[in-house]
Structure 1
Amino acid sequence: MKQFPLRLSWAMAIHKAQGITVDQVIIITKDMFGTGMGYTALSRVRTLEGLFLIDLHPNKFYCNENVD
C-alpha cells in the first residue's frame, strides 16, 4: 500500500476573502473579471513566499496612472 500526504485546505472566491490574511494563497487569474480583483487577491497573503500564481494573465491587473 502506498500513501501520500494530504493537507487540509479550502477554496473561496476573491470577494469572500476581503478582510482576511493568509499564509499561503494560490491565485488563478484567467477568470478574474472585475476591477480590483487582482489587488484584493494579491493583498491577502502575508509574504511573497506564500504567493502562488497560476495561469497568470497580466492584462487582468489594472493600475491607475494618476496615483502618485
Structure 2
Amino acid sequence: MTELDVNLPSVRQTQGSIKDKIEVSIKLLTGDVFVGRIVWQDPECLFFTDTNERKTLIYRQSIAYIQYQ
C-alpha cells in the first residue's frame, strides 16, 4: 500500500475540506453525484457522509471530480 502524499495539492485541498467540514459534490465515473462531507481519506478511498448521514466508502479510482463548495 502506498502512503498518502501530503505534499500533493489535491491531498492538501481534501484535508482542508475535512478539517473545515466543507460540503463537497463528488461525481463518479458512473455519473452518480454525492453531496455532503468527506470525513477521512487514505491512499485508496474517501469516506463520505451525505446530508442524510448515510456513510459511503468511495474508491479514488471511481471519482470523476470533486467540487468544493
How does the TM-score come out when normalised to structure 2? 0.24
TM norm structure 1: 0.24
Structure (1 or 2) with the greater helix fraction: 1
The structure with the larger Rg is: 1
